[in-house]
Structure 1
Amino acid sequence: MKKLLLSILLAGGLFGCRKLDQPITREFTETAYWRDSQDALDALTACYEHLSKDDYFFGDEALSDNAYNSGGGLINVNAIANGGYDAANGRVADTWNYYYTTIRRCNTVTTNIDRVPNMDATLKARIVAEARFIRAYAYFQLTAWYGDVPYYTNLISIDESRTIARTDKNQIQQFVLAELAAIQKDLPTNVQQAQNDRGRVTRGAAIALSARVHLFRSEWPGVVADCEQLITKTDNGTYSLFPSYSNQFTVANEYNSEVILDLQYGGGRTYDKQRSFMPQTIAALRSVLVPTQDLVNDYIMTNGKAIGDAGSGYDENNPYVNRDPRFEATILHDGSKVIDFTGTVQTILTKPGSVPATNTVDDQGASPTGYYFYKYYDRAAANYASSLNLIMIRYADVLLMYAEAKNELAQMNEAVWNQTIRPIRVRAGFTDAGATQFNAGLTQDQLRTGIRRERRAEFAFEGLRVYDIRRWKTADAVMNRPVRGIKVTSGAFNKDPNGYIIVENRLFTNPKHYLWPVPTVERDQNKNLSQNQDW
């Protein structure tokens, strides 16, 4: 078969077995395919395999002020985070290639499914709806990163791929929203979905993704309307907060009441990214994806106050005492205890001069910030290869999207608070009324600050922060700061005036860095692809 030149034409392994957590193992010629419904399901599985990947899920965290990635791993996201990249950057090129392959696979399903003879109409409608959802997700990702991009819903030819121009991102995002609305009738709810179909797209996922697109566009009434379909009604699915914040990120509790959409792993599909973020003494590898001091500082106290607020009770000499319970569930710090793969309890020491020094900032293979991520650590992983599903959308996000939208519409009140922020904090383990009860004396700006901080704490290490700081247009502020680590009093460290380790300086230029450049390799092959501002 002739090799296709452009990534928007790459179909790479279109067909696979039906089970979503298994890799593609079968390929068919066009003449021998689309014979029955199983062929259609297998082609759809190939779309699911290209929904997203662990490199993006974890790597996106390092594109924000939550995390730092040292070296060129995770497809060179560090160069993007520090502003030292161009249109040839590995992640910039990979994301474009990846999602156009996704679109190609989905277009293959929607274009060819009518060839299947005597197919059950309900199953056919569901398969098409799932493919349209995945395609809509791919287009949303492309517009979020690049802005205007080539847009098509058919199987374009090689010649067309060499001349297609970019379409306005707003037109594409309107298409995404229209698709997500149109497919809902053909998707089951999470209650109706058969157990062997777990992991497939549901009606609730379509609604929640629509809310996320509206959120990205600051379309607050749209966010409210979508979220209310899941918060105040049950005919689109039944969701609730899982009782334990930390335990929802375990294999034992996959497909729990909070999960709306997750990336499927297991069987033949695993990932070993925990070797990049856990301490060396546990993962037996360098720790290169690590939390920042700025993330740590944003966790509130158990009384609901930020660490810099009067009366917070924050003690700089005991900085991890009386903090948001989600902090301990997400981040390992000096003195944290963790059970390793052998069942041994390890005490993690990160301060300079500690003995042993393996996990301290003194060691070149240890975290340079003095912190490690703990969320998504999977002790059940064999040889570090985890089969734990990665949650892409969960019900807590619906609640916090709703809270943010209501506040932006100046409609935040005690009733909305008690629907959203309060249950999330109670689930996290807060008991102090200062953290759980609505404060009617707060201004809209103060509530905005609190809601944004809540999102950061709730979703740390889940890859959402980078989208938030870009849609809020705060990235040019928070990403122009140095990456900081723990406060030290000794050692030859580069430190800020307050004694915090400076790991790296970052640069984020407004407006240039709010959009990635169109990859060089794509523009070399298609002269009709324009470039983003300042690139």
Structure 2
Amino acid sequence: MKPIDRIYITVSLLAAVVSSACNSDFLDTVPISNQSENGFYKTENDITQAVSGVYNMLLGWPSIHHIYLSEARSSNYFVDRQDAARDYFSISAFEVTAALGTVQAAWTDDYELIERANQVLDRIDEVPFTDAGKRDRMKGECKFLRALAYFELVKVFGRVPLIDRTVSSEEALTYGRSGLDSVYNFIISELTAAAALLPASYTGGDVGRATKWAALGLLGKVYVYTAGHPLKKADGYTKALPVLKQVLDAEGAGWTFATTYAEIFKTVNDNKYHLFEVQYMSGGKGLGNVIPGEVVPLDMDLAIMPYGNYYMQGFPSDDLINSFEPGDNRKFVILDTVYRNRAGNMVQRNYFRKYLDSSAASSLLSRTDWPINFPLLRPEDVMLLYAEALNETAGPTAEAVAIVNRIRARAGLAPAAPASQADFRGMLERERRHELAWEGQYWNDLVRTGRCLEVMNPWLQQNYQKTIDANQYIYPIPQSEIQIKPGLYDQNPGYF
């Protein structure tokens, strides 16, 4: 079982009603009572449960944000037109409309998380705590999670409504889309505050909550994003450097660099190698990870996939498979090109296997019940972003090259020696693509670095007989949101 108490809460963006809760010690749901959210926040335990409810909203993020809206959007993933009725085909083939369910889910789930965090932050100071430090920590957790939600929203939709407190349904209809600068400034402010409030580590049942290093790592990443498309802030990399360096200097105390790439993605190593991860557990309570079985072949050996696969019928693209250097041991941790079927025969097919930990298969109670956590922020991500910031401010320094070569050495690759800043940019793009494959990073890397059209259009022309323009860097505002109050939100260019 995973740390962090769990709570089930039914919440809309505009109003909330607390319904039931459970924790890592008891997987049975425990009634809280049918109180309004105004009457619920009375005790320290109420706040503790409510903060767990904010974390609970992360359960669906990896599928929506990191796989569907990112990996399926990139040249890492290909879907045959026979699956044209599926959202992931529309995303992969750039046939997205404002009515697409996955787009609506991203908007709704992110704002639901934000609303839960707003409720806690609005009321936490009114509730007595035996330990003021715990109150501060929970404020930091909610600020971190709220910032994380806005970071995803701004990457997916561009300008979005900025709501930083609990509002009535009537008042919500007065919030239009805020400018990108305003949203990013809010994210930066929230993460700065969170880093000052959060502890460096946890023990016992609190392991898995947001730490100071998670907040600083995400803050540094946000600064790097401000340096790229669309903001292109000249000081983004400069601001990122000292923040990311704090995280790197915490190695051994705040995080651990795994000896091998494969051990990072084992269930037994959850909460060991990531800076922040979505917490999952098996047990049939709806707290399992669906991703391990989403893209494996339908007839895979039941000893590995005891309940069959889940949903997606695309596969790793040849472009991704052929991009690995010979000897890169990450390749067959991330994907495979052959599998054993239920009849015991070996069959050729490309599929992602990164989170498919067969040692956990016997604990499953359904095909969506995998216990392995999903990384939202890894030390290697921070390492490569720091190297990128060094390269963009001072060229390929010895420190920057050494960081990348440390990751390459673990992958079984020889040291690289980039001759120029441009060479190092290409090296970083490839390393991030391979190190972070199937984690939802590559598409956003292409967008922010300005490489998207150059990389994607030849691939799209070959596979879908089309090309795209910069309008497709973000998704449409969901149609249902546009219709709530005509004129409140303008639609993103290129969508109707």
Task: Work out whether the TM-score is over 0.5.
Answer: yes
How many residue pairs end up in the alignment? 455
Counterparts of residues 280-291 of structure 1 (less than 5 Å): 280-282=299-301, 283=305, 284-285=308-309, 288-291=313-316
Partners of 1:25 and 1:506 in 2: CA distance: 53
Counterparts of residues 498-513 of structure 1 (less than 5 Å): 504-505=463-464, 507=466, 509-513=468-472
Match of 1:67 in 2: 77
Give the residue type in structure 2 aligned to 1:326: R
Question: Against the structure 1 CA distance between its residues 447 and 474, is the aligned structure 2 distance closer, same or farther, given a 3 Å change threshold?
Answer: same
| Post-superposition CA distance 1:161-190 (Å, at most 9, x none) | 223211102111111111111122221112
Partners of 2:197 and 2:43 in 1: CA distance: 20
Counterparts of residues 233-312 of structure 1 (less than 5 Å): 233=250, 237-256=253-272, 258-266=273-281, 267=283, 268=285, 269-279=287-297, 280-282=299-301, 283=305, 284-285=308-309, 288-301=313-326
SS in 1 for 2:394: coil
* 8 Å CA contact 1:15, 1:42 repeated in 2: no
Give the residue type in structure 2 aligned to 1:64: S
* 8 Å CA contact 2:84, 2:90 repeated in 1: no
1:49 maps to which of 35, 45, 56: 56
Counterparts of residues 307-326 of structure 1 (less than 5 Å): 323-326=327-330
SS in 2 for 1:50: helix
Match of 2:353 in 1: 374
Match of 1:330 in 2: 334
How far did residue 274 of structure 1 move?
Answer: 3.0
- Unaligned stretches of 5+ in structure 2? 1-10, 228-235
* 8 Å CA contact 1:148, 1:169 repeated in 2: yes
Is residue 2:237 matched to residue 1:231? no
* 8 Å CA contact 2:143, 2:193 repeated in 1: no
Question: Against the structure 1 CA distance between its residues 146 and 23, is the aligned structure 2 distance closer, same or farther, given a 3 Å change threshold?
Answer: farther
Question: Against the structure 1 CA distance between its residues 170 and 422, is the aligned structure 2 distance closer, same or farther, given a 3 Å change threshold?
Answer: same
Match of 1:121 in 2: 132
Partners of 2:314 and 2:240 in 1: CA distance: 32
How far did residue 459 of structure 1 move?
Answer: 0.8
Is residue 2:422 matched to residue 1:424? no
Partners of 1:86 and 1:474 in 2: CA distance: 24
Partners of 2:25 and 2:161 in 1: CA distance: 28
Q: Please state which structure has a larger fraction of its residues in helix.
A: 2
SS in 2 for 1:16: strand
* 8 Å CA contact 2:73, 2:92 repeated in 1: yes
Is residue 2:47 matched to residue 1:37? no
Partners of 1:482 and 1:425 in 2: CA distance: 26
* 8 Å CA contact 2:217, 2:244 repeated in 1: yes
Question: Against the structure 1 CA distance between its residues 471 and 274, is the aligned structure 2 distance closer, same or farther, given a 3 Å change threshold?
Answer: same
Partners of 2:76 and 2:26 in 1: CA distance: 29
TM-score (normalizing by structure 2): 0.84
Q: What is the aligned-residue identity percentage?
A: 26
Partners of 1:46 and 1:459 in 2: CA distance: 28
* 8 Å CA contact 1:187, 1:202 repeated in 2: yes
Question: Against the structure 1 CA distance between its residues 99 and 447, is the aligned structure 2 distance closer, same or farther, given a 3 Å change threshold?
Answer: same
Match of 2:5 in 1: none
Match of 2:226 in 1: 217
Question: Against the structure 1 CA distance between its residues 412 and 45, is the aligned structure 2 distance closer, same or farther, given a 3 Å change threshold?
Answer: same
Partners of 1:39 and 1:87 in 2: CA distance: 38
SS in 2 for 1:277: coil
Match of 1:313 in 2: none
Counterparts of residues 183-222 of structure 1 (less than 5 Å): 183-190=194-201, 193-218=202-227, 219-222=236-239
Partners of 1:288 and 1:273 in 2: CA distance: 13
Match of 1:179 in 2: 190
SS in 2 for 1:126: helix
* 8 Å CA contact 1:63, 1:81 repeated in 2: yes
How far did residue 467 of structure 1 move?
Answer: 1.2
Counterparts of residues 9-28 of structure 1 (less than 5 Å): 9=14, 11=16, 13=18, 16-19=21-24, 26-28=31-33
